Amino acid sequence: MHSEIRSANQPKPSFIETARRAQIIDCAVEVIAELGFAQASLAQIAKRAGVSTGVILYYFAGKDDLIREVGVHVFTTGRSSIEPLVQQQLDARSALRTFIEASVAYIAANPKKVLAIMNILRAGRSDGGTLKIDPTVYQPRQIGFRNILEWGQRDGEFRTFSVAVMVETIVEALDAIPSQLAADPSLDLDAYAKELVELFDRATRADTPVQELRVR
Amino acid sequence: MHSEIRSANQPKPSFIETARRAQIIDCAVEVIAELGFAQASLAQIAKRAGVSTGVILYYFAGKDDLIREVGVHVFTTGRSSIEPLVQQQLDARSALRTFIEASVAYIAANPKKVLAIMNILRAGRSDGGTLKIDPTVYQPRQIGFRNILEWGQRDGEFRTFSVAVMVETIVEALDAIPSQLAADPSLDLDAYAKELVELFDRATRADTPVQELRVR
DNA sequence: CTAATTTCTGAACATGCATTCAGAAATCAG
DNA sequence: CTGATTTCTGAATGCATGTTCAGAAATTAG
């Protein structure tokens, strides 16, 4: 008899099961990054993994489920590499700078993962209703930036501006990087990060009081 | 006998031909904006236009050709409503501000057109090789911003920064608006434009010399 | 070793799509 | 009015894809 689709509350996911799932997710990431979301068929992913398409459907409830898990995987690893660095900052300006730098560093370290995610998200957004990835997966980043910006405004480090617009602008600036990097792998991401840090530092910081600028 | 596909150098495009083409393009814009690019089948577009799918293929060489013409149409009307305003500015800061304001105003006036274009471009970018729209159609905007930024740097109005990164950031900030507007039609675009103008003015402008800031 | 269970295969199926095309309908020319 | 041309139809075609499934192969349990 055939076993039912695995769900998370199953007693023991066997070793081979977790290994296969991870392998399939990795291959999905590569194919989606290299061929684009539209060309990333189950057949292509299966071929990359060296299995038949049936195996994918044996471990995942369907293509949408696989895509969802790819999203969770990438965002989870991203958060774990970025959030700790941000949380140990003592002021909002440093936190903003660190968040941007760490985000670019994560892109540099995982170009395929982030490109795959961007392809998925873009396809979802250009697709009308059928969102591929749950907002709770990618919204923490927006919330993180929002908290930092509100923090800085509260403390007077930042000027008054629309936090929503600023968050959107920052996130879009970061999300544009993966495809640029794919188009030109020699792109200097360190320099790119420095530019963004400077750009958004100037865009956010409060005007220095005039009296402090007086010379002598 | 069947007539061949029309090409631009044909002697006389009949009245009904240009009318049908325009009508089909308009319907394609609406369907792509409302349903998303992936769901925008020829059948849907034909249904919206009240014709059979064959008509679309009679006036356009294929779906790709239709999409391309949608892109040309939207970008052409956009340029004609933005460029004249920008060109009459006398300094780079004003030109940058005007470009951003006019871009947002065009979005406000043509929400479906710009959303459709964004859906097409996003689908193309998330798609790997198969770009839907020719770069010569959408690159003039980047070039326009680049020229303004280089102008401002040359004149000393702007500080030193990477023009490429700044252009990318500005364009992405603008391109994020249509989908936000679609998600929340009550979005205040005037306020949004003001925020972006202030943001990028601060991000680009040269540091005011200290002596000019001295009070009295 | 044998039987049960897990894992995997590959063909079959269903669906949606762009495109083709033979010919109908409408329009135009003379 | 009549024949030629333009415009349009809708069924047929071919293709790609996600999904199902009966059973083979491999692994594990006893």
User: What phi and psi values does residue A10 have, to the nearest 5 degrees?
Assistant: -65, 145
Residue positions counted in chain A: 216
Q: Which residues pair with B205 in a beta bridge?
A: B158
**Per-residue tens of pLDDT for chain B, all 216 residues:** 444 444 444 456 777 778 899 999 999 999 999 999 999 999 999 999 999 999 999 999 999 999 999 999 999 999 999 999 999 999 999 999 999 999 999 999 999 999 999 999 999 888 876 778 999 999 999 999 999 999 999 999 999 999 999 999 999 999 999 999 999 999 999 999 999 999 999 999 999 765 555 554
What does each C-alpha distance from A146 to A126, A150, A164, A166, B180 come to in angstroms?
Answer: 25, 6, 7, 8, 17
Angle made by CA atoms B167, B32, A130, in degrees to the nearest 5: 95
Token pair recorded at residue A59: 């471990």
At position A142, the amino acid (one-letter code) is Q
What pLDDT sits at residue A13?
72
* C1' (C8) to CA (B144) span, angstroms: 56
pLDDT of amino acid A7: 43
Strand D contact with B16 (CB < 7 A): yes
Tens of pLDDT, residue by residue over A34-84, are: 999 999 999 999 999 999 999 999 999 999 999 999 999 999 999 999 999
β-bridge mates for residue A158, sequence order: A205
A192 vs B165: CB contact, 8 Å cut-off?
yes
Strand partners, A137: none
Q: How confident is the model at residue A5, as a pLDDT?
A: 43
> pLDDT value at position A16?
72
A152, A93 Cβ separation under 8 angstroms: yes
Over residues A143-152, mean pLDDT = 98
d(CA B100, CA B102): 6
Query: Cβ(A199)–Cβ(B199) under 8 Å?
Result: no
Alpha-helical runs (H) found in B41-188: 42-49, 53-59, 63-87, 92-109, 111-125, 135-155, 163-175, 177-183
Rounded distance between C-alpha atoms, residue A134 and residue A117, angstroms: 12
The pLDDT value recorded for residue B17 is 74
Question: What pLDDT score was predicted for residue B14?
Answer: 74
| Interface check B100 vs A, CB under 8 A | no
The residue in chain B having the minimum alpha-carbon distance to the alpha carbon of residue A161 is: B195
Domain topology for B15-207: Tetracycline Repressor; domain 2 (1.10.357)
Give me the pLDDT at residue A127, please: 79
User: Tell me, what's the pLDDT at A129?
Assistant: 67
pLDDT of residue A1: 41
CA of A42 to C1' of D17 (A): 8
Phi, psi of A214 (to 5 degrees): -55, 135
The pLDDT of residue A141: 97
DSSP class of residue A128 equals T
